[in-house]
Structure 1
Amino acid sequence: MPAKDGSAVADLGQRRASFQRARSRETKRELVQGAMAMWRTKGYATTTVADICAAAGVSKALFYFYFPRKEDVLFEVGVLSTQSASRTIHAMLDKPYEIDAVLRAALTAFERSMARNPPELIIETILEGYRHEHRILAAGGPPDVDADMFTELFRRAQADGKIRPEVDITHLAYVAQTLVSEGARHWAAGAFGDRAFADVVTADICTFITGSQRS
């Protein structure tokens, strides 16, 4: 049997690695979906890791390979909502845009994601996001890029002259994300009444951007 050349071996290795990454993402997605299904029906506090594994059809050992704690699945749910909003932003930057319109579209996508879940779960997700951030910062690590929704938009807006060049984009994105988190928590608690989450938080972020650009 002829020996495989180096390029063939490398290609096979790359395909195997791609397959394993795709399989890993799918398993992680199934765990998140299983957790969400249990939390919506049984509630967050009373759902155990064993419940999540049964819903996802995986072993507890596999669960702990991906998530050290049940709470880490909760954080992953928040990340997925953030990434959905980020994809909306990215798509809108391919054509002429205004900051407020992009913000409102992204936050509308975020609101749709939240609306599928009970208020208790939304609030727990926000609180776990804060705890996750605290653990990272306490360990001296950088902010989690997966939780960043706005840096791409604000950098692009600054490059296009819509945000003044001296504005600290990293800080602006951080404050905007904090407004989203606090807005989500208050929205879930019913503090916004009949007002849409996207409308309220878009106005808050635009007000902050306007203030940050004053001389």
Structure 2
Amino acid sequence: MPATSPASSSSERRHTSQGRERKQQLIEAAVTLFSERGYSATRIADICEQAGVAKGLYYWYFPTKHDLFVELVRTMRRRLRQAQAAGMDPNADPLTRMRQGAEASVRFIAENASYFSFVEVERAETEMSGLLREGSDVYLRDVLALVDEAQQDGLVPDTDPTLVAIGVVGAVSSFTNAWRNGRTTVSADELASFVGDWVTNAVGGQTVNGMAAP
């Protein structure tokens, strides 16, 4: 088999890079339009126009609009987990990592508020609910692992770890929903710090303003 010349290899790499860029352009355009119009009201032609990509190329990357939606959700899920991992000190104790992960989650959700607002609307759709729940289940499993570790280290009371993990995930979701809906005017960083404090106090069984945390 003949060796690939440097020129052809470089051309192939450029094409691959360009392909990834076009695919990302379509995903980003979909985020914008889905957030503004909703999934059902957004046409493939609209996404292509927003992305500046020919409609024929769209089908090279995504056979249907649903396939793009699946890719979008999984891309955002991967980016969220990357943000969580980057925000956690691997040498810290599990309760601290739980707090850091919650804070990183709040900041990521705040930075991508339009996407998460859209997801909340689409979650009610039966066709989408299973896919969207996958992300919540992944986060729940990650937190549950930290709760188990923290209980073994004596940092968290010996209560039902699943309920504790649900509480952490629920706190991140509830507080960020309230922030996105304008029910509080604190900054994203202030919200992240508050949620981090809440998680530490509630999960660690400490006190908040002299009262036992739930």
Instruction: For residue 198 of structure 1, report the CA deviation from its aligned partner.
Output: 0.9
Query: Residue in 2 aligned with 1:203?
Result: 197
Q: Is the 8 A contact 2:34 2:42 kept in 1?
A: yes
- Of the candidates 159, 168, 172, which is equivalent to residue 160 of structure 2? 168
TM-score w.r.t. structure 2 length?
Answer: 0.59
Q: Is 1:145 aligned with 2:138?
A: yes
Instruction: For residue 114 of structure 1, report the CA deviation from its aligned partner.
Output: 3.1
The one-letter code matched in structure 1 to 2:100 is A
Q: Is the 8 A contact 1:71 1:128 kept in 2?
A: no
Q: 1-side partners of 2:166 and 2:106: how far apart? A: 19
Query: Residue in 1 aligned with 2:172?
Result: 180
Q: Which SS does the other structure have where 1:171 is aligned?
A: helix
Q: Is 1:154 aligned with 2:152?
A: no
1:74-104 per-position Cα deviation (integer Å, ceiling 9, x unaligned)? 6435523531344136x52x314362x4344
Across the aligned residues of Structure 1 and Structure 2, the Cα RMSD in angstroms comes to 4.3
Q: 1-side partners of 2:149 and 2:127: how far apart? A: 25
Q: 1-side partners of 2:194 and 2:128: how far apart? A: 26
Q: 1-side partners of 2:97 and 2:42: how far apart? A: 37
Query: 1:112-151 residue pairs with structure 2 within 5 A?
Result: 112-117=107-112, 119-128=113-122, 135-136=129-130, 144-145=137-138, 148-151=141-144
- Of the candidates 85, 90, 97, which is equivalent to residue 93 of structure 2? 97
Query: Residue in 1 aligned with 2:6?
Result: none
Q: Is the 8 A contact 2:172 2:195 kept in 1?
A: yes
1:130-186 per-position Cα deviation (integer Å, ceiling 9, x unaligned)? 76799449xxx9x7326655223222212222123x422223222211221121111
Q: Relative to 1, partners in 2 of residues 1:70 and 1:34: Cα closer, same or farther, differing over 3 Å?
A: closer
Query: Residue in 2 aligned with 1:82?
Result: 80
Instruction: For residue 107 of structure 1, report the CA deviation from its aligned partner.
Output: 3.4
Q: Is the 8 A contact 2:34 2:118 kept in 1?
A: no
Q: 2-side partners of 1:186 and 1:175: how far apart? A: 16
Q: Is the 8 A contact 2:144 2:161 kept in 1?
A: yes
Query: Residue in 2 aligned with 1:193?
Result: 185
Q: Is the 8 A contact 1:148 1:177 kept in 2?
A: no
Identical-residue share of aligned pairs (%): 20
For structure 1, which runs of at least 5 residues remain unmatched after alignment? 1-22
Q: 1-side partners of 2:74 and 2:168: how far apart? A: 20
Counting matched residue pairs gives 180
